[in-house]
Amino acid sequence: MNDRGDQDLWDAVVAAEKELVRRRADFYRNAKGRSEVVKAALSGDAWQQGSALGFLDSLSEDAPDVLPQLVGLSMSHRWALQARRVVHRIPPDRLWPMLTPMVSGLLKTADADDHLRLAELLAHVGAWPLLRQLADRAVTHDDPEIREVAEDVTRRYGRFWPPPPATSGPEL
């Protein structure tokens, strides 16, 4: 049995979703400094961040321009999955060259949780050679918690890694 009030509430949700799609398309087509606005939003409060991630997930052309912010959010507990989804939409031939130095820089000061979040991002986007390098680096780390991350990453994702290249590729 469907209550008419319930249907009215649902119809309002659908109308709001339609309006959101229209507003995103309007912003996408007409904003002059789209990437700058989205970049600022990714550094804003939770509503700004969530709205920016939703926009990028639906219209991801600007994602490469805000990759550092997306990687940062992919390391947070709140936005990790949404940020990874957006990063995953960037074509690998564009993503990996930008991601390699970024991850390398972050690993210099990363704790065990950061190592794990970066590993999850690399696995999500299928950057298996980079993930292998992260694990290889982590396995010799002074911090036992980071070495434990290396073991966990290898156990979870090692079957996806290609064999080591005969010649060296991009290094973390």
Measure the CA dihedral 116/94/50/77, to 10°. Answer: 0
pLDDT at 59: 83
Domains of the chain by residue range = 91-172
The structure's pTM equals 0.87
Residues 53-105: pLDDT tens digits? 999 999 879 999 999 999 999 999 999 999 999 999 999 999 999 999 999 99
pLDDT at 137: 93
Length of the chain: 172
How far is residue 122 from each of residues 45, 62, 95, 134, measured CA to CA in Å? 26, 20, 11, 9
